[in-house]
Structure 1
Amino acid sequence: MYRYAALLRGIAPSLPNMTNDKLRGVFEGLRFEHVASVLASGNLVFHSTETDAPMLERRIQRALHTELGIAGGTIIREHAELRALLDSDPFPGLTHGRGTYLTATFLKDGATAPGRLPEPPDPRTRIVGYDTGARVFLAVIDNSVPGNTPDFMSWLDKTYGKDITTRTWLTVQRIVKKLGS
Structure 2
Amino acid sequence: MTTTYAALLRGINVGGAKKVPMAELRTLLEGLGLTGVRTHLQSGNAVFGADRGDEESLAAELSAAIEQRFGFGVGVIVRDHRYLRAVREACPFPAAELEARQLHVTYFSEAVDPARFAPVEPAEFRPEEFRLGDRALYLYAPDGLGRSRLAGALARPRLLKGLLATTRNWNTVVKLEELTGV
Question: Quick one: which amino acid aligns to residue 113 of structure 2?
Answer: P
**Matches of 2:108 and 2:24, distance apart in 1:** 25
**Matches of 2:23 and 2:107, distance apart in 1:** 24
CA distance 1:9–1:149, change in 2 (3 Å): same
Aligned-pair identity in percent equals 27
The answer to whether residue 49 in structure 2 is matched with residue 70 in structure 1 is no
Partner of 1:5: 6
Q: Deviations over 1:72-103 (max 9, x none)?
A: 200011011111222234322541256xx101
Deviation at 1:118, TM superposition (A): 2.2
Q: Deviations over 1:119-166 (max 9, x none)?
A: 546504311x2222xx1011101327xx84426156424211351101
Question: Quick one: which amino acid aligns to residue 81 of structure 2?
Answer: H
Displacement over 6 Å in runs of 4+? none
**Matches of 1:151 and 1:12, distance apart in 2:** 24
Equivalences for 1:79-94 in 2 at 5 Å?
A: 79-92=81-94, 94=97
Gap runs ≥5 in structure 1? none
Equivalences for 1:82-161 in 2 at 5 Å?
A: 82-92=84-94, 94-97=97-100, 101-108=102-109, 111-116=110-115, 118=117, 120=120, 123-124=125-126, 125-127=128-130, 129-132=131-134, 135-143=135-143, 148-150=147-149, 152-153=151-152, 155-158=154-157, 159-161=159-161
Partner of 1:32: 34
Q: Deviations over 1:41-77 (max 9, x none)?
A: 1000000012421111111100000011231200011
Question: Quick one: which amino acid aligns to residue 90 of structure 1?
Answer: P
Give the root-mean-square deviation of aligned CA atoms.
2.5
TM-score by length of 2: 0.82
CA distance 1:16–1:60, change in 2 (3 Å): closer
* Equivalent residue pairs, number: 172
* Residues 126 and 141 in structure 1, CA contact (< 8 A), matched pair in contact too: yes
CA distance 1:49–1:153, change in 2 (3 Å): farther
Question: Quick one: which amino acid aligns to residue 169 of structure 2?
Answer: T
CA distance 1:69–1:154, change in 2 (3 Å): farther
**Matches of 2:46 and 2:100, distance apart in 1:** 24
SS in 2 for 1:18: coil
Deviation at 1:177, TM superposition (A): 1.6
TM-score by length of 1: 0.82
Gap runs ≥5 in structure 2? none
Question: Quick one: which amino acid aligns to residue 103 of structure 2?
Answer: L
Partner of 2:164: 163
**Matches of 1:72 and 1:55, distance apart in 2:** 15
